[in-house]
Amino acid sequence: MFTLVRIHVPSVVLDADGSIARHVNPDYVWDYVIKNHKTWHSKEIKLLYMTQRHMQEDTSLIIDAECLDALVDFLVKHIAPLKYVRGFWILNMAKMRFFQIPAERSGEFSRYTVTLDVLPEYMNSVYEEISMLKPGRDIMVNYIAHTFQSFTASTMVSVLAVSRNHMEKWVEDCIKSLDGIMEAEITHISKTKRLVSHEEWLESVGAYLVAPGGKNIVDIDPMYDDSMIAGC
């Protein structure tokens, strides 16, 4: 089972009277995982990827877990004892699709996630529409999954984009216009780190890795400002 585990560490710790006790290093969990993750790998738990969202005060792990009990045992043993950890948010990632993107282009892009509120009767059509998008010059869809993380947040899309302006214009023109989309929330991923070798990564995600379909993402005219991204 694929899971996305968000680990919350507040940037500020307060005393009982509400005054600031200390500021917490935003890389507190990140550095701990980097130092120790190789000793945690087992048949039951494989830490594949780590991301950080500074604005949301969390560090996230994409984990290939044998079962939910194994995942919880791992979190309770290795992550929960950290002094400033204040909670976990576990998102099961169903119907995963990872899309092949040009390797030589990925370093030029920033990473974002788009959380979609989709009317249930349109979930399949939205999923398939987004899965059909081929990588463009300015926007590339990395993966899509159903997470059902709340009554109004059913689907998560990972996207690489040249800039925040490109991302916002693409979502506004090309995602929100799809039938059944009620809302789309964009979150910037501050940094990412793969925690396994390329071969180990392919071993875990290979069954979910697919070539994108035939629908082009329309690139913007380079003569225009990057906020003027073309529509689909």
Confidence of residue 222 (pLDDT cuts 50, 70, 90): low
Confidence of residue 228 (pLDDT cuts 50, 70, 90): very low
CA-to-CA distance for 98 and 95, rounded, in angstroms?
A: 10
pTM score of the predicted model = 0.84
Query: Do 97 and 208 form a contact (C-beta atoms < 8 A)?
Result: yes
Helices (H) and strands (E) in the chain, counts: 5, 15
According to the model, what pLDDT value does residue 147 have? 94
Amino acid letter for position 203: E
For the residues 91-114, what does the mean pLDDT come to? 84
For the residues 97-114, what does the mean pLDDT come to? 82
Where do the domains of the chain lie? 1-92, 94-232
CATH topology of domain 1-92: Alpha-Beta Plaits (3.30.70)
Q: What is the CB neighbour count within 10 angstroms for residue 12? A: 10
Query: Do 95 and 145 form a contact (C-beta atoms < 8 A)?
Result: yes
Confidence of residue 20 (pLDDT cuts 50, 70, 90): low
For 67, the 3-state DSSP assignment is: coil
Q: Report which secondary-structure segment, H or E, holds 23.
A: strand 20-23
How would CATH label the architecture of 94-232?
Answer: 2-Layer Sandwich (3.30)
- Whether residue 16 has pLDDT greater than 80: no
According to the model, what pLDDT value does residue 218 have? 64
Sign of the Cα torsion 77, 79, 85, 89 reads negative
Confidence of residue 231 (pLDDT cuts 50, 70, 90): very low
Per-residue pLDDT reduced to its tens digit, 111-163 = 999 999 999 999 999 999 999 998 888 899 999 999 999 999 999 999 999 98
Task: From 114, 129, 105, select the one nearest 214 (Cα to Cα).
Answer: 129
According to the model, what pLDDT value does residue 205 have? 86
Per-residue pLDDT reduced to its tens digit, 35-64 = 999 999 999 999 999 999 988 889 999 999
Confidence of residue 224 (pLDDT cuts 50, 70, 90): very low
Per-residue pLDDT reduced to its tens digit, 173-182 = 899 999 999 9
